[in-house]
Amino acid sequence: MKTDTQNILQSEKNQLAKLQKIVNDTIDEEKLIVENLLHKPEEILTKGQSISDKVASFGGSWKFIILFGVILFIWILFNTLTPKILNFDPYPFILMNLILSCIAALQAPIIMMSQNRQEEKDRKRGENDYLINLKAELELRSLHQKIDLLLEEQIKVLFESQAKQLEILKSIEKKVNI
């Protein structure tokens, strides 16, 4: 009877050792992923990058569009309604067209620089999403290993108990037949 108890205890110890090994392996696999997720590299902006972000955020906003529309409307009204002496840009508004062209020529590359930086941020965010998905996959793999181990141990215990039950039934049958 003691040997059966010792065998069961030894079997449970082996099962716990296997589970502990699976857990330790999973923790080792996840260390790098967790480290990367917790300690993201800080973004260091140059002065130009900072300016391009600010220009892009203002230049692509409704505030800019409304303000620019109001300025153009006032420009046109002033140069059409005031006496010719005060007009600094008469009707075809050549100066206004020149200023608009310069603003567009300068604003477009600045916005492109900001979009390139945003694209880099999106790429890093995608890498982070990949790492999170990889971590989830590792967790699932670990859970599958644990469940497989538990099922394997349960089947082994069931077979052992069935074998013992058969032995007991055979001994009872022998006693009954005698």
pLDDT attached to residue 77: 92
Structure-model confidence comparison of residues 2 and 40, the more confident one:
40
Reported as a single tens digit per residue, the pLDDT across 6-62 is: 776 777 778 778 778 877 777 777 776 667 666 666 778 888 888 888 888 888 889
Please tell me what DSSP assigns to residue 88.
S
Is 39 in contact with 57 (CB distance < 8 Å)?
Answer: no
pLDDT attached to residue 2: 58
On the question of pLDDT at 1 being above 60, the answer is no
Is 149 in contact with 18 (CB distance < 8 Å)?
Answer: yes
- What are the residue ranges spanned by the domains of the chain? 46-177
Report CA Rg, the chain. Answer: 38
Reported as a single tens digit per residue, the pLDDT across 109-156 is: 988 988 888 898 899 888 888 888 888 888 888 889 889 888 888 888
Name residue, tokens 């010792």: 6
pLDDT attached to residue 53: 85
On the question of pLDDT at 66 being above 90, the answer is yes
Band of the pLDDT at 74, cuts 50, 70, 90? Answer: very high
